[in-house]
Amino acid sequence: MKFFADTAEIDEIAELAALGMVDGVTTNPSLILKSGRDILEVTREIAGMIDGPVSAEVVATEAEAMLEEGRRLAAIAPNIAVKLPLTWDGLRACKALASEGTMVNVTLCFSANQALLAAKAGATFISPFIGRLDDINIDGMELIADIRTIYDNYGFETQILAASIRSVNHMKEAALIGADVATAPPSVIRRMAAHPLTDKGLAAFLADWEKTGQKIV
């Protein structure tokens, strides 16, 4: 499973990239606001740091305006994936941009039917929002599983990009189900390395090592 960092913070992306823990980046208007930077400037910088896809989101709501914004974003770098909302206008813009050879990430997906439409419109990625479904007591992982089954049934090439990930369990479950990509905040990716038994075992080894009185260097 590929890991995308869900952030517009340059330092966080650089840390993950240095470890080989990031295959792409996703941004959205909220993350751009948090970064405090110009969307074109920060998107260009991120795209220069990462070989994989960098999702940049339009803010228009009508298809023609989405296309105008999408083309402007796509012109930043060849690895830009234009992020479009899963609305009828978004699907129209998706079809047009995909036909032009632009990667498209269709976002705010909350049903298998929406994901099926996005695949037929030529989306490169579909972003089902796990955490937001969990917030309203719907199992977000069931949606990932349903989309996986539908896409496999018909050979759709659209990649499932599990989004709105809140926990390390979300990462594990997405991997078990077969999501192609998971996009998560850097803090969640870092927490995947943590386990209390690892900490306990390391503390015991270090205590025993200290008793030997030895040094390696």
Which residues are known catalytic residues? Answer: 83
| Among candidate residues 147, 144, 106, the one with its CA nearest the CA of residue 125 | 106
Distance CA 62, CA 57 (A): 14
Q: How far is CA 213 from CA 12, 208, 209, 210, 216, in A?
A: 38, 9, 7, 6, 10
Contact criterion met (CB below 8 Å) for 37 and 8: yes
Q: In the beta sheet, which residues pair with residue 2?
A: 181
Q: Report the b/e string of 18-39 with b at 16+ CB within 10 A.
A: eeeebbbbbbbeebbeebeeeb
